[in-house]
Structure 1
């Protein structure tokens, strides 16, 4: 791992923490992305759509601005100049995975940003259980896919 890889992660983590703190301090809201998107898409307008849209535009514009500044999307394939590319398991598997993540955020009443970042920072027992569940599910999924099914890199 090169020094700029961990530095990018550190800077990104600090920015996520600052954004979550700013949202809590200024609006008293949790920076749970699934809740922000879900409420924006399913709830009737309650006068708080502007901050939700602004937050989501910030999530999208950050990587785009980094790319325009010459930062690229990162060396995700282990080759200089490589970008994300096609999903390793195909588009249908990616769509199924996305659907399962959506179901999971509904069952868990939140996502990794709401529970893992904001909930853990508030020492919420519910968020601790949810985050442990997310992590254990991810670990088991990687194990099954890579070692039992044999489909991973």
Structure 2
């Protein structure tokens, strides 16, 4: 770990917060990834959204740029929980980015509860996985 190891997470967090704030200010909507994906593909009932597609394209382009620039990024995908994630975001009326980044910033009671539940489920999952596999 270097002295500048905080730069990438900090800059990424700042850019996520800035993009979410700009999306709210310019379009009046919450920048939750599940909602943007649904609108980009026309699954939200309002037709396809070019703004949603642009937002998702920016996320993918930014990740591709960072991977090309860093050159040592390694991505390993061992499972495909797409259906469970999609169902969960619909069931929870949003995803972690919508509730955690945007909802907490607006002090939304529903988002505060959702984020607490997301974090508790993540902590329980890690605990159980470590207990069952014996990994640190």
Do they superpose with TM above 0.5? Answer: yes
Superposed CA deviations along residues 106-147 of structure 1, whole A, max 9, x for unmatched, are 111000110000000000000000000100000001111111
How far apart, CA to CA, are the structure 2 residues paired with 1:73 and 1:59? 19
| Cα RMSD for the two superposed structures | 1.9
Normalising by the residue count of structure 1, what TM-score does the alignment of the two structures yield?
Answer: 0.79
Change (3 A) 1:120 1:55: same
- The 3-state SS of whatever aligns with 1:61 is helix
- The 3-state SS of whatever aligns with 1:113 is helix
- The 3-state SS of whatever aligns with 2:70 is coil
Count, aligned residues:
135
How far apart, CA to CA, are the structure 1 residues paired with 2:5 and 2:87? 32
Q: Please name the residue that 1:50 is paired with.
A: 50
Whether 1:85 aligns to 2:76 is yes
Superposed structure 1 runs of 4+ greater than 6 Å apart: none
How far apart, CA to CA, are the structure 2 residues paired with 1:123 and 1:43? 25
How far apart, CA to CA, are the structure 2 residues paired with 1:86 and 1:126? 31
Q: Please name the residue that 2:97 is paired with.
A: 113
Change (3 A) 1:73 1:14: farther
Q: Please name the residue that 2:60 is paired with.
A: 60
The answer on whether the counterparts of 2:35 and 2:44 sit within 8 Å (CA) in structure 1 is no
Unaligned runs of 5+ in 2: none
TM-superposed CA distance for 1:86, in Å, is 4.5
Change (3 A) 1:73 1:43: farther
Unaligned runs of 5+ in 1: 75-82, 88-93
How far apart, CA to CA, are the structure 2 residues paired with 1:73 and 1:23? 31
